Structure 1
Amino acid sequence: MLVTVLLVLIAAVFFFPLVWMVASSFKTNSEIFRTPFAPPSSIDFEQWVRAWDVGNIGQYALNSVITTGTSVLLILIFSAAAAYAFSRYRFRGDKWLMGLLALGLLLPVQSYFIAQSTLFRDLDILDTRLALIIPYTAMGIPLATFLLKTFLDGIPEELFEAARVDGAGDLRMFAVIALPLLRPGLATVAIFSALNTWNEFLLALLYIQDDSLKTIPTGLLAFSSRYVTDYGMLFAALSIITIPMVVIYIVFNRQVTEGITAGSLK
């Protein structure tokens, strides 16, 4: 009982800012400062409409969907293939390659940002979606590969041996045996990768200057100037982009939980 009460209290602490943000999106700036914790006097979605149209949230959201969707798809493809190779094959240098992937978990983006920026400038892909998709994919592959390799290590070797006896090749075993069994792990990787990519700010700020290509985190800067911030419209924009991600996480919560726990069992 005590544990349940503590968990409810912790959940309330983390959930309150979301409720406060949504409630504030229905207030004017004066109401937010005068009665910050009071419920809104009326539910009017005018702020939401203004945030979508005037604030260009629709375009920013589309850019985020394209960038996030493409990055997550590439992460799933490359990490699943890499995890299968590391789990099922032994070859010279495999430990070194796994070590290089581990560096991707340890090194912050600031440590290689200058070299990456120079490379992108020479390739003439700055201020394009590729300038975000490439690093987002590269940053997501290490963790995804380690997670999926853990799943594959738990699959009995006899399944693959039986398939090989039946004449299945490596590609068919990967597609018919590995991928279906990896669904919980792929769902977990997809959710975590999508959340990280959707909320990434630093690279999106530095690599994208064209307003028509900006993603949501950098696009929100348009709601705040040096001297004035329209907090009502800012909270409306934040609500528009936050609620769908929360809903997605709630819908796929069981898959994420199964993915995390299944990978720890042999």
Structure 2
Amino acid sequence: MNRMQGGRMVGKLSTAVKYGGLIAYSLMTLFPLLWILSISFRDNDQIFTSIRLIPESFKWTNYEQVLLGGNIPRAFWNSVSITTLSIVLLLFCVLTLSFAISRFRFKGASAVYLIFSAAVMVPTVTILPMTFKLFNDLHIFGFKYSIVFAYVIYELPVSIFLMVMFMRAIPQELDEASVIDGCNIWQLFTRVILPLSRNGIVTITILAFVAYWNEYLTALIMLPDRANRTLSVALSFTKDENSVKYGLMAASVMIAVIPMIIFYSIVKNQLVKGMSLGAVKG
């Protein structure tokens, strides 16, 4: 009985420590977001005179100034359009190439996959100077949607690496059965492989969305015109030359974060399922 009671106490203690650690980590993660949310309803005088998590009053003045008086609405649309086009082009390239690598046997398939796998370890900042020179030579530097090509190249290696693993987990017998039933290559791709790769598609879409939405350095360099700035770049220009309106900056940050929170809330179940499936079968 003593051993059983001791085992139960150890189990309860282990569970308490585990959940305590998770709660502490959650609080550490949520506190900066709550702090920025609180600052977004305050002005500089209130911020510097008192430290508090709950604002004195919930005034939407900062949000009105961001949405009506600055470049944030245009930058928000630029980020939406650039991110959407980048994800669409990325999915087209990733799905077709991953299908070819995972379902067909041809000379050099392993080498191609190895190149993309190795490219995952290359920091994107190292190819930025070459991207800058290439865009200049092609006379597309400064064009708003030219940055889409750079974004696709940035996320292509990791997306190929993940999607090939998902597609390789699909049994080859399904291909043979589909061909016997009269499917051609395009029908096999669209009606069999793509539906079964849904979790992988959702996974790379979320990873790409977060990367594109938060990207700063490439957008700052490749899109110098004020009208073409993305949201992450426009946020850095919300401060004045002589002062910084922290409440205004906090409101801008919240406007940038809200789309990611909404998007993640919608597809979080597919993301967890997709990542766990890829980890098990990869």
Under TM normalisation by the shorter chain, which class is it? over 0.9
Alignment correspondent of 2:90: 75
Q: Which amino acid aligns with 2:68?
A: D
The correspondence for 1:30, drawn from 42, 45, 52, is 45
Unaligned runs of 5+ in 1: none
Alignment correspondent of 1:202: 217
What pairs with 1:157-172 in structure 2 (closer than 5 Å)? 157-172=172-187
Larger Rg: 2
Q: CA deviation at 1:177?
A: 0.4
Instruction: Return 181-190 or 89-98, whichever deviates more.
Output: 89-98
Q: Aligned equivalents of 2:123 and 2:220: distance in 1?
A: 17
| C-alpha contact 1:50 1:233 (8 A) present in aligned 2 | yes
The correspondence for 1:120, drawn from 135, 146, 154, is 135
Q: CA deviation at 1:260?
A: 0.4
Q: Which runs of 4+ in 1 moved over 3 A?
A: none
Alignment correspondent of 2:103: 88
Alignment correspondent of 1:222: 237
What pairs with 1:56-67 in structure 2 (closer than 5 Å)? 56-67=71-82
Q: CA deviation at 1:233?
A: 0.6
Q: CA deviation at 1:9?
A: 1.0
| TM-score (structure 1 length as normaliser) | 0.96
Structure with more contact order per residue of length (Cα contacts < 8 Å, sep ≥ 6): 1
Q: How many residues align?
A: 266
Q: Aligned equivalents of 2:33 and 2:26: distance in 1?
A: 11
Instruction: Return 31-40 or 236-245, whichever deviates more.
Output: 31-40
Unaligned runs of 5+ in 2: 1-15
Q: Aligned equivalents of 1:109 and 1:261: distance in 2?
A: 26
Q: Aligned equivalents of 1:225 and 1:133: distance in 2?
A: 30
Partner SS state of residue 106, structure 1: coil
Q: Deviations over 1:141-188 (max 9, x none)?
A: 111111111111111111110001112111110000011111111111
Q: Aligned equivalents of 1:103 and 1:53: distance in 2?
A: 46
Q: Which amino acid aligns with 1:204?
A: A
CA RMSD of aligned residues (A): 1.3
Does structure 1 residue 111 correspond to structure 2 residue 97?
no
